[in-house]
Structure 1
């Protein structure tokens, strides 16, 4: 049981609480009465109206500021969305361009590979065709060479091979069977597959045909040490008898002409004309791969029309 002192403290505490509540009520009542009195005053009513107006203006200003901020945010968002769409469209366009270029490169690569494949096939076909033609030609030549009953050579052996059929004929080559530009000449060179005349390039060689300027150290040498036309003629006669003795083993020779010219693409070439194509073919097949004066012979058929057209024939 609580003691008297404790009860007394509690009673006093409750009394103080009731007094505070009563004072608060009286204060609220007085403030309410004072507020009612102020409300009855025109100046106070006017002030309240002004306060309400100011609060309304402030509220409108806050709403406008909020609306402006929201509109600004919406504009920024719209701009950002537009920029995002522009960037995405640019990226998509770049990707499409890259993909287009890749497709074009792949198509070009495929076309190039297809073209290379066709070229390889065409080259194989041409090689096979050329090999077949060569085998057929060699067989035909062997038949003509070894069969005496075939009096005249087959027509397909008398055709001519052309280097550039689409170009005009090289006049110098057609007149002399020589050209300073050789295989690099842009004009057409026509050479027979079989003929009565053989051309042996650089067959005859002689120091007087070299077209070399004397060295200044030997320019004052004694004249009797220099070669003369008689020396050239003597050496050529020796070469002539030696060559003709060997070439007559394949058939009767009608003409034996040597080009006396100091130019590199002309000097020392020898034309040998037989009575018929069979003798020329026999000489051609036997001279291929042969050596003379430590030089391998280069033999081909010639379609020279006149000896007068050859350069410096001897």
Structure 2
């Protein structure tokens, strides 16, 4: 039909264009190869290529150097991090071990303290039980002695010592009194039975309490209101009041009240009976009783001589 192209003609045109393009590419490649061959024959171009090659090699070496430096830095940082981690682990382990050691030591000390307290408690209970048994035994001996005739049993003839083996307290030996009491570092000997009893701080008076040891303080204002006559009258009333109570237990040979120079000796009352049985009765009956609002503290005493024991009555 007129106006329409045939298919083979269209394909032929396409193949012709393709061959032209291939021929142009081959020619172009040949031209480039020839130009490249000419360039390669040019000494300046060869020198340029060598410089480019050297620059490329230098660039590659710099890249490798930077990479190696970065890798080395990373390895060093990783090694430092591992070392720091191990150090922290060691420190934590050391701190934990120290804390465990402290806790173990504290537990050991606590157990030792509890054991020591238990031992002391047991020892104290044992001593208290022994003392109670001894006291009961002594009471039985006293009751037996009071309810029978004859001499007291040997158990009541013993002498109690506060510090056996130590030197004797000279003042206590003379007066049966000591300013330090049971805490004295010297030995105090006290009989379990005697014909003399002492009631400590039995007679008290302001002149005895406020009387000063130094002469320069003897005329203080506190002593101006009271006189020696007041003291004598107070003592006579005290003597007449308590003497019948003591005479109810037996015949009294001496009744003496201390007014010694040393303040801690003043007010002690010593009662000497003819018989030990009478002193024992007074000891049992008066122990723990109250007089003038104060509880009585009665003990047996062994006074060698009254002259050395008492400065005034």
* TM-score normalized with structure 1 length: 0.79
The Cα offsets for residues 64-106 of structure 1, whole Å up to 9 and x where unpaired, read as 2222222222222222222222222222222222222222112
Query: Hey, what's the Cα distance between the residues in 1 that align with 2:98 and 2:237?
Result: 80
Query: Hey, what's the Cα distance between the residues in 1 that align with 2:266 and 2:272?
Result: 19
Displacement of 1:233 after TM fit? Answer: 5.3
**In structure 2, do the counterparts of structure 1 residues 53 and 126 end up closer, same or farther at CA, with 3 Å as the change threshold?**
same
Q: Does structure 1 conserve the Cα–Cα contact (< 8 Å) formed by 2:261 and 2:311?
A: no
Q: Which runs of 5+ in 1 are unaligned?
A: none
Displacement of 1:257 after TM fit? Answer: 1.8
Displacement of 1:6 after TM fit? Answer: 9.2
Q: Which residue of 2 aligns with 1:143?
A: 144
Q: Which residue of 2 aligns with 1:101?
A: 102
Stretch deviating more after TM superposition (44-53 or 100-109): 44-53
User: Over aligned residues, Cα RMSD in angstroms?
Assistant: 3.5
Q: Does structure 1 conserve the Cα–Cα contact (< 8 Å) formed by 2:141 and 2:156?
A: no
Query: Hey, what's the Cα distance between the residues in 2 that align with 1:145 and 1:55?
Result: 131
**In structure 2, do the counterparts of structure 1 residues 91 and 197 end up closer, same or farther at CA, with 3 Å as the change threshold?**
same
The Cα offsets for residues 15-58 of structure 1, whole Å up to 9 and x where unpaired, read as 44443333222211221222223333444334333333332232
Provide the secondary structure at the position in 1 that maps to 2:264: coil
Query: Hey, what's the Cα distance between the residues in 1 that align with 2:310 and 2:17?
Result: 153
Q: Which residue of 1 aligns with 2:74?
A: 73
Q: Which residue of 1 aligns with 2:158?
A: 158
Displacement of 1:290 after TM fit? Answer: 3.2
Provide the secondary structure at the position in 2 that maps to 1:265: helix
Displacement of 1:206 after TM fit? Answer: 5.2
Provide the secondary structure at the position in 2 that maps to 1:101: helix
Displacement of 1:235 after TM fit? Answer: 5.9
Stretch deviating more after TM superposition (92-101 or 172-181): 172-181
Query: Hey, what's the Cα distance between the residues in 2 that align with 1:210 and 1:74?
Result: 92
Stretch deviating more after TM superposition (231-240 or 75-84): 231-240
Q: Does structure 1 conserve the Cα–Cα contact (< 8 Å) formed by 2:199 and 2:298?
A: yes
Q: Which residue of 2 aligns with 1:28?
A: 29
Stretch deviating more after TM superposition (66-75 or 204-213): 204-213
Provide the secondary structure at the position in 2 that maps to 1:305: coil
Displacement of 1:276 after TM fit? Answer: 3.3
Query: Hey, what's the Cα distance between the residues in 2 that align with 1:6 and 1:146?
Result: 167
Q: Which runs of 5+ in 2 are unaligned?
A: 212-217
Stretch deviating more after TM superposition (100-109 or 268-277): 268-277
Q: Which residue of 1 aligns with 2:57?
A: 56
